[in-house]
Amino acid sequence: MKANDPDTSEKSQRDLALGILKQTAQRELAAGVLKQAAHDLRRFHGATSNIERELYLDAYRWLTIDECSSPFSFLNVCQLLDFAPDSIRQELIGDLSLGAFRCWIQRCRRTAGRFWMSFSQPFMSERNASTSARIGRAEPPNMIFHRTNSMGGAV
């Protein structure tokens, strides 16, 4: 029986690695489908030719239909990527009215905001800890606010 243990272990490790590889491939494909739909929506928004309009409408229908029968339907793609479907829809459809340049500026603004939030998280938690320590000394909350302002710190 011990002779089979290494074979079983290798097989289970192979199966685990294959499962991880399949999941990664599915996520990458789902991300590619979503990116292509976003690209088609932006590129062909004001299309004049029949083919370009059809590409736009196909991406728009895919984005707005609530069905899960296809493995790469919009809802399944969002679930696979851990995205909220409504916020993705709002972001993609909202970007259509902006135009290419304003869309790019909006995306840069969102990215900068996310970067700023990730950068400021450690400082905010440190500030909250020091504020909690001051509140623990029974100092009124409005005194904490005024004290921070009088020290020249940014709020």
Segment 20-60, tens digit of pLDDT: 999 999 999 999 999 999 999 989 988 889 999 999 999 99
- CB 28, CB 43: distance < 8 Å: no
Residue segments in the chain with a per-residue pLDDT below the cut of 50 = 1, 137-155
pTM of the model: 0.55
* Alpha carbons within 13 A on the beta-carbon side of 50: 0
pLDDT of residue 92: 87
Report pLDDT for 34: 95
